[in-house]
Structure 1
Amino acid sequence: MKYVMFIVGLLVVYLLALLVSTDRKKIKYRPIIVMIVIELVLCFILLNTKFGAFIAKALSDFFANLLATAGAGINFVFGGLANKGQAPFFLNVLLPIIFIAIIIGILQYFRILPLIIRGIGWLLSKVNGLGKLESYNAVAAAIVGQGEVFITVKDQLSRLPKNRLYTLCASSMSTVSMSIVGSYMKMIEPKYVVTAIVLNLFSGFIIVHIVNPYSVDKEDDILEINEAAKESFFEMLTEYILLGFKMAVIIAAMLIGFVALMAAINNIFSFFFHITFQQILGYIFSPLAFVMGIPWHDAVQAGNIMATKLVTNEFVAMIDLTKVQHHLSARTIGIISVFLVSFANFSSIGNIAGATKGISDKQGNQVAQFGLKLLYGATLVSVLSAIIVGVVI
């Protein structure tokens, strides 16, 4: 049955992407098929082999050690509060982002990350049928962050045509920043976080090939990376510490606002219609959950979580998943976990449009114009990755 649903799922995603395709005649099917095969192989390795289990455990242990190390600083400042068991999510899940941001800053400072990003990007460009810039951007967005990635290609960004700009923005919305991966691993199984990050790289290119097909001419296939101004080591540390803290506070503020707003809307709907808003969304998204390979008896609950992620963010949805996962099958948890690991939500439209507008007003306005199409495509990326996982587990 799962193999039938896999084929059905691929067809549904293809048709949904085809609905908004800019030029159906230019779709290149060969790289799409190649990348689907690569996804299946990588997903099987990561989830069904000892080697994959070793990789997932190694990364999980790595981030667990980072979070434990971050705890030393957190306990020093908030030790009394933590010991009383108050505000554990902010202290244990969000504040460690500061230390992970420092690690990323150090790797950037010593030019280790740029080397890794270029290497992986080069490998991707050999199979994705797109340019070097698109390949670099997809990897860089998953490491340095959704908005920060545009700064590294700011000179080239201002000269890009609309189709290539869409691809860069889609990559940023379809991935997640490495600085918050550790936080995800405290809420969902690390193996699904790792799998989602890998799959989303390829799923993003697959959806782009259908939604936004184009070819990059050889003379335009160049990559111009803007190096950050040289600063002292301690200036860099200060910058990344503040960046990490800013991220933690912004996420906390968004969680407070979104969770409270969702509770208020649920109360209103429950009072007037005797059903919560999230339950309504669950019914709306349940067919899509079923297409992803989730058993029908879990489809409404899964659709609820998927919709919550779309209208709020992945953190709110992950919190909801932790509350109800004991009612769900292991298969459902695996598929929905992979779906949640991305920045595909409405707030990301503003984040990406703001980041590009800070570099080029013209390009920022362009992003705002195709913002909903961007979210639509990025959501299909998450759906496709979840479908791949559904046929493997």
Structure 2
Amino acid sequence: MKIVMFIVGLLVVYLLALLVSSDRKRIKYRPIIIMIVIELILCFILLNTTFGAFIAKSLSDFFASLLAAAGEGINFVFGGLANKGQAPFFLNVLLPIIFIAILIGILQYFKILPMIIKGIGYLLSKVNGLGKLESYNAVAAAIVGQGEVFITVKDQLSKLPKKRLYTLCASSMSTVSMSIVGSYMKMIEPKYVVTAIVLNLFSGFIIVHIINPYSVSEKDDILEINEAEKQSFFEMLTEYILLGFKMAVIIAAMLIGFVALMAAVNNIFSIIFGISFQSILGYVFSPIAFIMGIPASEIVQAGNIMATKLVTNEFVAMLDLTKIQDNLSPRTVGIVSVFLVSFANFSSIGNIAGATKGISDKQGNQVAQFGLKLLYGATLVSVLSAIIAAVII
């Protein structure tokens, strides 16, 4: 049954992507098939082998140690603010982002991260059928952040044709920033976070090949990375500390706004229609949950969580999942967890459009025009990754 649902799921995702394809005749099927095979192998290793368990545990322990170190700084400033054993979400999950941002800054400063990103990007370009710039951007977005990645290629960004610009933006929406991975691991199982990050990298390329097919000529396949302005070590530390704090506060503000708005809308719908808005969304998304391999008895609950992610963000959805996961099968929790690990939501359209507009007005306006198509594609990336994970879990 797993294999049947896997094939059905792949076909449905393919047809949904084909509906909005800009040029169906130019779709390259060879790299798509190669990347699906790679995904299956990597997913099996990460979820079903001792080595995969070791990788997931090592990363989990690594981020746990970072969060513990971050906790020292948080307790120094906010110690005694919370009741014992009741640390607020902001202190426990969001503020550690500051410390992780500092580490990213240090690795950037000493040129370690750029070397890793270029290396992985180069290897990816050999199998994904896309250019070096697209491959670099997909890896960089997962490390330096959704908006910050565009700064590293700002000179090329303003000259890119629409199709290549779409791919860069799609990568940014389909991945997650390394600085918040530790926060995710506080809410869902680390092995699913790690698996989703790896799968989304390849799923993003697969969906782009269908929705936005094109070829990059050798003369255009160049990568120009903009070096950051020379700073002293302590200037860099200050910048990344403030960047991490800004990110934590922005996420907190969005959570306050989205959770409150969702509660208000749910109350209104319950009074008028006798059913909450989230429950309605659950029914709308339940067919997608079904083709992802979730049991029929749990598709409405899973659809509810999936829809919440789309209309709010992944943090709100993960919090909702933690509330009901005891009522779901471990398989469903795993599949939904993989689906949730990405930036595919409405607010990301504004984030990406704003980041590109800050570099080039023309390109920012272009991104705003294909914003909904961007979100549609990024959501299919999450669905595809969940389908791949479902056949292995």
Q: Residue type matched to 1:28 in 2?
A: K
Q: Which residue of 1 aligns with 2:203?
A: 203
Q: Residue type matched to 1:234 in 2?
A: F
Conservation of the 8 A alpha-carbon contact between 1:82 and 1:91: no
CA positional deviation for 1:219: 0.3
Secondary structure, in 3 states, of the residue corresponding to 1:31?
Answer: helix
CA positional deviation for 1:336: 0.2
Structure 2 length as normaliser, TM-score?
0.99
- Verify: 1:224 aligned to 2:231, yes or no: no
Cα distance in structure 2, aligned partners of 1:64 and 1:122: 30
Conservation of the 8 A alpha-carbon contact between 1:294 and 1:335: yes
Within-5 A mapping of 1:73-88: 73-85=73-85, 88=88
CA positional deviation for 1:16: 0.1
CA positional deviation for 1:82: 3.0
Q: Which residue of 1 aligns with 2:38?
A: 38
- Verify: 1:67 aligned to 2:76, yes or no: no
Cα distance in structure 1, aligned partners of 2:82 and 2:259: 22
- Verify: 1:2 aligned to 2:5, yes or no: no
Cα distance in structure 1, aligned partners of 2:229 and 2:371: 31
- CA deviations on 1:334-354 (whole Å, 9 max, x unpaired) are 000000000000000000000
Within-5 A mapping of 1:111-260: 111-260=111-260
- CA deviations on 1:337-381 (whole Å, 9 max, x unpaired) are 000000000000000000000000000000000000000000000
Cα distance in structure 2, aligned partners of 1:282 and 1:60: 31
RMSD: 0.6
Cα distance in structure 1, aligned partners of 2:273 and 2:282: 15
- CA deviations on 1:23-64 (whole Å, 9 max, x unpaired) are 000000000000000000000000000000000000000000
Which structure 1 segments of 5+ residues have no match?
Answer: none
Q: Residue type matched to 1:137 in 2?
A: N
Secondary structure, in 3 states, of the residue corresponding to 1:153?
Answer: helix
Cα distance in structure 1, aligned partners of 2:261 and 2:287: 26
Which 4+ runs in 1 deviate beyond 2 A? 82-87
Cα distance in structure 2, aligned partners of 1:253 and 1:74: 19
Q: Which residue of 2 aligns with 1:306?
A: 306
Q: Which residue of 1 aligns with 2:365?
A: 365
Q: Which residue of 2 aligns with 1:282?
A: 282
Structure 1 length as normaliser, TM-score?
0.99
Secondary structure, in 3 states, of the residue corresponding to 1:226?
Answer: coil
- CA deviations on 1:145-172 (whole Å, 9 max, x unpaired) are 0000000000000000000000000000
Cα distance in structure 2, aligned partners of 1:270 and 1:161: 47
Cα distance in structure 2, aligned partners of 1:85 and 1:44: 37
Q: Residue type matched to 2:153 in 1?
A: V
Q: Residue type matched to 2:288 in 1?
A: L
Within-5 A mapping of 1:316-335: 316-335=316-335
Secondary structure, in 3 states, of the residue corresponding to 2:356?
Answer: helix
Cα distance in structure 1, aligned partners of 2:360 and 2:255: 30
Conservation of the 8 A alpha-carbon contact between 1:188 and 1:318: yes
CA positional deviation for 1:81: 1.0
Cα distance in structure 1, aligned partners of 2:231 and 2:116: 21
Q: Which residue of 1 aligns with 2:349?
A: 349
CA positional deviation for 1:83: 4.2
- CA deviations on 1:174-201 (whole Å, 9 max, x unpaired) are 0000000000000000000000000000
Conservation of the 8 A alpha-carbon contact between 1:75 and 1:82: no
CA positional deviation for 1:388: 0.0
Cα distance in structure 1, aligned partners of 2:210 and 2:335: 23
Secondary structure, in 3 states, of the residue corresponding to 1:81?
Answer: coil
Cα distance in structure 1, aligned partners of 2:59 and 2:116: 16
Q: Residue type matched to 2:290 in 1?
A: F
Conservation of the 8 A alpha-carbon contact between 1:313 and 1:343: yes
Conservation of the 8 A alpha-carbon contact between 1:5 and 1:292: yes
